[in-house]
Amino acid sequence: MNRAFRIRMGQPEMESFWMDLLARKRLEKLNRDEDKFFTRLVKALDFLSLNPRHNSLSTHEISDLSRKYGMKIFQSYLENHTPRAGRIFWAYGHDVGDITILAIEPYPEDKRGAYERIQLSAMPRTAIPSKKKR
């Protein structure tokens, strides 16, 4: 199965969160709720890497966050048809073919000002090619 996009994690919060979750999963140290969350997250990230517009993700741009951060920020659902499901906030890039996960948040109880409270991780830096010695 060919992936359309490579999934990257924002710096430093999302990368740290993901590495901790993945390590605890490998060590079978996740509790039941964390394990369910991990399964939903991996499934959503798989759909996102194949097709960011996959129906079950209900992906859409969040204009408030796009204006705040100066780049298009999208929201996708961790689960479809589940009102309280978590939301994944992401952007295209930093490199071509990348999608960067910038935050994962629970669905807000109170929508008023909900997007103002969301703090996004930074985009990862691209690798700087090393200079060749002559």
pLDDT tens digits, residue range 6-51? 999 999 999 999 999 999 999 999 999 999 999 999 999 999 999 9
The distance in angstroms from the start CA to the end CA of the chain is: 41
Going from the C-alpha of 123 to that of each of 33, 38, 132, the distances in angstroms are: 28, 22, 27
Q: What is the dihedral of CA 114, 116, 119, 125, to 10 degrees?
A: 130
79-113 pLDDT tens trace: 877 666 789 999 999 899 999 999 999 876 666 77
Backbone angles phi, psi at 90, to 5 degrees: -150, 170
Domain boundaries, given as residue ranges, for the chain: 6-109
CATH of 6-109, one of 3.40.50.460, 3.30.420.40, 3.30.2310.20, 3.30.559.10: 3.30.2310.20
